[in-house]
Amino acid sequence: MPTDALPYGVRDIKITPIDATGAYGTMIDLPNARTLSFAEAEEFSDLRGDDQLIAVRGMGPEVTWSLESGGISLDAWAAIGGGTVTETGTAPDTVKTFAKVGTDVRPYFLLEGQAISDSGGDFHVVIYRARATDDLEGEMTDGEFLLTTGGGRALPDPNNADALYDLVWNEAVTDIVVPV
């Protein structure tokens, strides 16, 4: 393999719910993926004494993330923001409804994005334990498609050896699959 991956664009973003026991649910495709941004961050505490900086200690890494997709998947919205999706009726009169009540909490989920690499294969970003802590937004505007956006933080996953995130470069294009 070459020494550098050259990811281009975003090919796919998938969300996999994580239940209270740490088990993965059914993977959900985020339709018309447009962006997946991520940044590693860590808060630090300084020890100062004798009019100088003595030591700096990190409090553990976390990841901040944001995403955008065209259109809306009610199932993805529920996996990111909490709430329930119901489907009633029969074709051609089926109705799918997302509902959220004040006691619904935003759940944890696994977030994975894929880009094709111009240097061969593909490149994946896997964020193991994400939670939406920023606004989850959709906007309907005259003459424009609805865009779904959201962002949040990710913490190490205690059910997965404290995995925080992976950057994976595959020599051959590899589909996103539910982790085991």
Domain ranges (residues) in the chain: 7-170
Using DSSP's 3-state secondary structure scheme, residue 121 falls into: coil
Cβ atoms of 165 and 128 within 8 Å: the answer is yes
Whether 2 shows a pLDDT value over 80: the answer reads no
What is the C-alpha separation between 7 and 121, in angstroms, rounded?
9
**pLDDT 10s digits, 106-126:** 999 999 999 999 988 999 999
Per-residue pLDDT at 57: 97
Give SS3 for 152: strand
Query: Cβ of 136: how many Cβ atoms within 10 Å?
Result: 16
pTM check: above 0.85: yes
Rounded CA gap, 8 and 157, in Å? 28
Predicted confidence band of residue 3 (pLDDT cuts 50, 70, 90): confident
| CATH assignment, 7-170 | 2.30.110
Burial of 16: CB neighbours in 10 Å, binned 0-12, 13-18, 19+: buried
Residue 127 binned pLDDT confidence (cut-offs 50, 70, 90): very high
CA dihedral sign, ordered 82, 24, 162, 77: negative
Give the integer Cα–Cα distance in Å for 86 and 74: 10
Q: Residues in the chain, how many?
A: 180
